[in-house]
Structure 1
């Protein structure tokens, strides 16, 4: 879906937004029209699940957007990363979960239902289950977990992400829960970065200063949103159905920076993708120079 900010400029810059609660601190200042953050820039927000934004970026339909970490790994020649901006965790993430009706180590030969909204989490799950748990005879099918559960079906195991995971995490028919952020930390000792922000190289060649300015706005919006996160939780609670306390605990587990340890985690993920043949080789991390 798309929604436009009100302005006089007939051609605002399109900005991709993951349609999940977890990016609230990054986008709230922009979406609320905070002039201390926006300055003279105007955006058309294009919101959707990571898989949809990946497609829009890959096809050149968005100049700047959030994207799955795996998307950058697959097509690094098309993108430049925005420095110090990411979505990840240093342990439990709570919104990327494998829900199972039996112990994870007893899932060999099982069918696992995977949300169609995810690319990074699906590849992470495959590698974790194969390398960390020794499960190499699994079958993966893609579908809408919420709709399937509402129909009365009960798949043996489900990978769900984002707001759906927050809703389904305490489902009574799925007593076993594997948090992929926590499992990665146990496996590698590193944070896991689920999503990045990037600009299209093709778009950057045409409008470098505008995209540098847009990147600076995103970073300023992140700083402003994180600093006032506690004031955003009551409204988020009403919208999400989670208590303020639950939301505070959820956001406390997320990281929005791309510091040295996060970069190490990202590089470890790309090395694992290359080892599994999911990408040809681990990409260099190339960043846009945003200036002042």
Structure 2
């Protein structure tokens, strides 16, 4: 492709999250001339996609089911786990079976639905979910709270306040034996097929590059987030999984099935992937 032709290629507009766990996917994309990125918390990214401000976004996985916009899933590196995730956690001062309400971090849609599925399936309780601004918290810690993201490590509540804790990824794996996907790349169903391929190719290429230079990335990002470097390295190498293969698809569909069975989503849309 000539320099003139490259200059005519429209930039790909991506909605991204700047958590530690997204860095292996997106770190370095900011210097790409054909990429523009808009940062937001996971729960806000679907709004950027629906309003046409971005072409694709690393959305909360439940948004595929609840969005009014026809969507496709891009087969690109996603945010998942096979067991403990370490950054999606329920803290409770009472046994889970006794809970009536849980204050939930407003940064994620998926985790709120997953929490309700787990409490109903495993502990037989239905809770009222209350929004909780963990970033701007200026009140006492509530009786039960769910947090997501880097704050679970860098700004976790006092352990003595919460003798009962649940890692949601670990609880899901214990229940189903399947991986869980918290974040997936979504795009409008009308996204141009060439643009979809460009996005997937770009994300795959950047992910492979960052994995080859993981030591540098982990050192830089752990310092920026006040994480112990060895913890950050272990978290990114074994806690978070980036695959989107058959078992991940099965886990995602099982999550949607249970969410629908418990009335947490109105319908169970079949999985639709770009290019398939």
Query: With structure 2 as the length reference, what TM-score do the two structures score?
Result: 0.89
Structure 1, unpaired ranges of 5+ = 1-6
Which of 142, 150, 161 matches 2:148? 161
Secondary structure, aligned partner of 1:99: strand
C-alpha separation in 2, matches of 1:165 and 1:15: 26
CA displacement 1:94-134 (0-9 Å, x = unmatched): 11111112332332x3x311111110000000111111111
C-alpha separation in 2, matches of 1:213 and 1:105: 47
Q: Which moved more, 1:8-17 or 1:72-81?
A: 8-17
Alignment of 1:132-151 (within 5 A): 132-136=122-126, 138-148=127-137, 151=138
CA displacement 1:223-258 (0-9 Å, x = unmatched): 222232222111112101111111012112111111
Match of residue 51 from structure 1: 43
Alignment of 1:6-155 (within 5 A): 12-31=11-30, 33=31, 42-75=34-67, 78-107=70-99, 109=100, 111-136=101-126, 138-148=127-137, 151-155=138-142
**Residues 74 and 196 of structure 2 are in contact (CA less than 8 Å); yes or no, is this contact kept in structure 1?**
no
Secondary structure, aligned partner of 1:256: coil
Match of residue 190 from structure 1: 178
C-alpha separation in 2, matches of 1:271 and 1:193: 14
Alpha-carbon distance change, 224 to 43 in structure 1, aligned in 2, over 3 angstroms: same
Match of residue 3 from structure 1: none
C-alpha separation in 2, matches of 1:28 and 1:104: 38
Alpha-carbon distance change, 9 to 175 in structure 1, aligned in 2, over 3 angstroms: farther
Secondary structure, aligned partner of 1:248: helix
Task: Give the deviation of 1:77 after TM superposition.
Answer: 5.8
Query: With structure 1 as the length reference, what TM-score do the two structures score?
Result: 0.85
**Residues 15 and 43 of structure 1 are in contact (CA less than 8 Å); yes or no, is this contact kept in structure 2?**
yes
**How many aligned residue pairs are there?**
269
Alpha-carbon distance change, 175 to 98 in structure 1, aligned in 2, over 3 angstroms: same
